[in-house]
A and B are shown apart, each in its own frame.
Chain A
Amino acid sequence: MGFCLQCWLTLLLLALLVWASFAYLALDLSRLFSLESGRGMLQFILRFFPPDTSAQFLRKIAGATLETLAISAIGTLLAAGAGLLLALPAAGRLGPVFKALTRFLLNALRSVPELVWAALMVLAAGLGPFAGTLALALHTSGVLGRLYAESLENAPPEPAQSLVESGAPPALAFGYATLPLIAPQLLSYSLYRWEMNIRMATVLGFVGAGGLGQMLYYELSLLHEAQASSVIFAMLALVVFVDAASAWVRRRQMRAGG
Chain B
Amino acid sequence: MSFELDRIGLIHSNGQAQGQRALRAVSISAARGERLAIIGPSGAGKTTLLRILATSIRPTEGRVSVLGTNPWQLSSRELRRLRSGVGFIHQAPPIPPRQRVITAVIAGRLGQWPWWKSALSLIYPADIAGPREQLARLDLADRLFDRCDRLSGGQLQRVGVARVLYQRPDLLLADEPVSAMDPALADLTVGQLHAEAQSRGVTLVASLHAVDIALRWFPRVIGLKAGELVFDLPPAKVSESVLRDLYASETGVLPSQDNQPFHASFEGYATDDTPGGSGQVPLAPPRVI
Interface residues of A (CB under 8 A from B): 156, 158-159, 161-169, 171-173, 175-177, 180-181, 183-184, 258
Chain A residues near B87 (CB, 8 Å)? 166
Contact with B94, one of A161, A167, A169, A175 (Cβ below 8 angstroms): A161
Q: Which residues of B contact A177 (CB under 8 A)?
A: 94-96, 107
Check B115 against A166 for contact (C-beta < 8 Å): no
Asked if B221 is an interface residue, CB under 8 A from chain A, the answer is: no
Report the separation of the CA atoms of residues A164 and B86 in the bound assembly, to the nearest whole angstrom.
11
* Known contacts A167-B112, A169-B110, A172-B115, A162 near B149 by CB under 8 Å: no
- Asked if B267 contacts A172 (CB within 8 A), the reply is no
Chain A residues positioned under 8 Å from B164 (CB to CB):
166
How far is it, in angstroms, between the C-alpha of A186 and the C-alpha of B119 when the chains are bound?
A: 20
Residues of A within 8 A of B149 (CB): 258
List 10 additional A-B contacts (Cβ < 8 Å) besides A165-B83, A167-B112, A168-B84: A158-B266, A162-B94, A164-B83, A168-B107, A169-B111, A171-B115, A175-B119, A176-B110, A176-B118, A177-B96
Q: Which residues of A contact B98 (CB under 8 A)?
A: 180-181, 183-184
Chain B window 13-31, contacts with chain A (Cβ cutoff 8 Å), 1 for yes, 0 for no: 0000000000000000000
Inter-chain contact A167/B110, CB cutoff 8 Å: yes
Cβ-closest chain A residue relative to B80: A167
Flag if A180 contacts B96 (CB, 8 Å): yes
Shortest CB–CB separation between residue A92 and chain B, in angstroms?
16
Q: Is B90 an interface residue (CB 8 A)?
A: yes
CB nearest to B85 among chain A residues: A167
Using CB atoms, name the residue of chain A closest to B267.
A156
By CB atoms of chain A within 10 A, which of B95, B103, B108, B164 has the most?
B95
Residues of B within 8 A of A175 (CB): 118-119, 122
Interface set, chain B 76-118, CB cutoff 8 A to A: 80-88, 90, 94-99, 103, 107-108, 110-112, 115, 118
Task: Render B163-175 as a binary contact track against A, CB cut-off 8 A, 1 for contact.
Answer: 0100101000000
- Complex CA–CA separation, A233 to B80 (angstroms): 61
- Complexed CA–CA distance, A197 and B56 (Å): 45
When distances are taken between beta carbons in the complex, the residues of chain A under 8 Å from B161 are none
**Chain A proximity of B227: nearest CB distance (Å):** 22
Q: List 10 A-B contacts (CB under 8 A).
A: A156-B94, A158-B94, A163-B107, A163-B110, A165-B55, A166-B87, A167-B80, A168-B107, A169-B80, A258-B149
Instruction: Evaluate whether A166 and B84 lie within 8 angstroms (CB atoms) in the complex, with A159-B94, A172-B119 already known.
Output: yes
Note all chain A residues with C-beta closer than 8 A to B111: 166-169
Which chain B residues have a beta carbon within 8 Å of chain A's beta carbons?
Answer: 54-56, 80-88, 90, 94-99, 103, 107-108, 110-112, 115, 118-119, 122, 149, 164, 167, 169, 266-267
- B-chain residues with CB within 8 Å of residue A181 when the two chains form the complex: 96-98
Dominant secondary structure at the A interface: helix
Partner of B110, one of A158, A159, A172: A172
B56 touches A176 (CB 8 A): no
- A256 and chain B: residue at smallest CB distance: B98
Alpha-carbon distance between A158 and B266 when the two chains are bound, in angstroms: 9
Least CB distance, A183 to chain B, in whole angstroms: 7
B266 nearest in chain A by CB position: A158
Q: Could you say which of A159, A164, A167, A183 contacts B95, with CB atoms under 8 Å apart?
A: A159
Cα separation A168 to B82 with both chains bound (whole Å):
11
> Contacts of B108 on A, CB cut-off 8 Å?
166
Contacts of B90 in A (CB 8 A): 158, 162
Distance from A163 Cβ to chain B, minimum over Cβ atoms (Å)? 6
Q: Which of B56, B84, B103 contacts A167 (CB 8 A)?
A: B84
Q: Taking A161-B56, A176-B107 as contacts, is the C-beta distance between A167 and B81 under 8 angstroms?
A: yes
Name the B residues within 8 Å of A184 (CB-CB): 98
Distance from B148 Cβ to chain A, minimum over Cβ atoms (Å): 9
CB–CB B88/A167 < 8 A: no
Complex interface: chain A residues within 8 A of B112 (CB)? 167
